[in-house]
Amino acid sequence: MSKIKIVAATGCPTGIAHTFMAEAALKKAAEKLGVDIKVETHGQVGVENALTEKDIQEADGVIIAADKDVNADRFIGKPALDVPVAKGIKDPEKLIQAIIDRKAPIYKAESAANLPAEEENTEEQGTNSIGRQIYKHLMNGVSHMLPFVVGGGVLIALSFLFGIHSANPEHESYNQFAELLNKTGGLGFQLMVPVLAAYIAESMARRPGLVVGFIGGMIAHTGGAGFLGGIVAGFLAGFIIYLLQKAFSKLPKSLEGLKAIFLYPVLGIFFIGIIMFFLVEPMTAINEGLKNFLADFQGANPVVLGIIVGCMSAFDMGGPVNKAAYVTGTALLAEGNMYFMAGVSAACITPPLVFAFATVIFKKYFDKQERNAGLVNFILGSTHITEGAIPFAAKNPLVAIPILMVASSVSAVLTYMFGVQVPAPHGGFLVLPVVTGAFQWVLAILVGSLIGAVLYGIYRKNAYQKK
């Protein structure tokens, strides 16, 4: 009997941790179950170990473990499981076994509504629900946008090292290099909203959606609608192209090139322009209102805000709830608010450090493999990779997650109380040179991490003594 062959595609919004953790988990599970597997990763550097048409044709099944667009249309007609990337990390054997047992449905790109009724909404198959599709489209935009925000934010912050007004030619502290850094970084920030909108639309409507999304995002950016306007423009652009594709679906095949190069961009840009003309003003008001509300809340209730941000960041360690806080912080960062992101970053850095410190302080209650993983978590936590906490938390989530929420909340609350400013949404301690209040920020994170480590260590000690 020939060996079962499986192909897989993994991808997470940041393209740094979940993507490769899912890849490693699937490969390990495949080896254990005696299955051949090839995993294509969609990381921040792009597609690696790409699946060929031959790979897909010869595969007995497909596993799509992704929270972003991985061009799943190429799997139409194959038995496939479409699940969140976190499920690829937590239940790789279960997913592979479903392929082996031929329980995977035939993949339909259009929607989950095409699946038989009994196959919808089952955990094993991971549905293409409307909510999940919206999340994947949004995260595809966020994934492509992040490098612009990180690069732009760090360059702007570096310009401030020469003096807060060093980029201003009329100020006495003016420095030409500082001006170069500030202007170049500013361009990265200006492109953030158009790129976000473009790749939301690209996820929905492939390449035809890209240009319409860019234009919609530019209208949102120049009109002051900001991050929220970019999100709305991206989804509108994708929907407009979807409707145009339906409208022109009966045109002769020979006109496919004309549709792509002329009809879709001309009509798409026309319609997004008209719609955004009416939406920009109310979206700008909403954007300003949200920004002012959070800024006021931040000053008046840093404890409450820190608890909310801490709990959200630690709840699912890189999942949708965590990303909601992270995306909000990124949006405010683009608006010039560097305080909110400081708390989010602190809360995201803390969970891996909790387990890292616990394995050192309570060493005897962890086995060798866990202690080694704990040492790795010092690196993961320090570089803002929250997902390093997942293997520990997965062993007893009902105990570990509340402890992580407490620890992250402490770190976020102290960060807000100290008034720390962080100019980049990623990088962890690597961006310390450009953090305003760097010492206080590290102190806040260490206090939260050590509190969590002691709480988790006590739990492990009690569990060890009971055994």
Domain boundary among 102, 128, 154: 128
Which residues partner with 61 through β-bridges? Answer: 6
Q: Is residue 371 part of a domain?
A: yes
Q: Report the alpha-carbon distance of residue 62 to residue 8 in Å, rounded.
A: 5
What 8-state DSSP symbol labels residue 79? B
On the CB side of 100, CA atoms within 13 Å amount to 17
pLDDT at site 298: 67
To the nearest 10°, report the CA torsion of 320, 330, 425, 138: 40
Q: Is the pLDDT of residue 206 over 80?
A: yes
285's tokens: 């008001």
Answer whether residue 211 is part of any domain: no
What is the distance between the alpha carbons of residues 381 and 376, in angstroms, rounded to a whole number? 9
Whether 438 is in a domain gets the answer yes
From 128, 151, 184, the end of a domain falls on 128
Asked whether residue 127 carries a pLDDT value surpassing 60, the answer given is: no
Q: Which of 172-176, 334-338, 366-370, 449-453 has the lowest mean pLDDT?
A: 334-338
In a domain, 167, yes or no: no
Please name the residues in contact with 385: beta carbons below 8 A apart, sequence gap of 6 or more: 16, 17, 352, 428
The rounded percent of the chain whose pLDDT value lies above 70 is: 93
Range of the domain at 357: 301-466
Is 315 within the bounds of a domain? Answer: yes
The total domain count for the chain is 2
pTM: 0.74
Q: Which amino acid does the sequence have at 227?
A: F
CA distances from 249 to 73, 253, 289, 416 (A): 17, 9, 42, 54
User: Alpha helices, DSSP H only, in 318-437?
Assistant: 320-334, 339-361, 368-382, 390-393, 397-418
Domain-embedded: residue 425 = yes
Is residue 12 one of the residues assigned to a domain?
yes
Residue 293, both tokens: 């509300």
The answer to whether the beta carbons of residues 401 and 366 sit under 8 Å apart is: no
Nearest partner of 454 among 413, 415, 410, 414, judged by Cα:
410
Active site residues: 12
What was the pLDDT predicted at 299? 66
CATH assignment of the domain containing 84: 3.40.50.2300
Q: Is the pLDDT of residue 397 over 60?
A: yes
Say if 124 falls within a structural domain: yes
- Give pLDDT, residue 432: 87
Boundary residue ending a domain (128, 146, 175): 128
Q: Which amino acid is at 394?
A: A
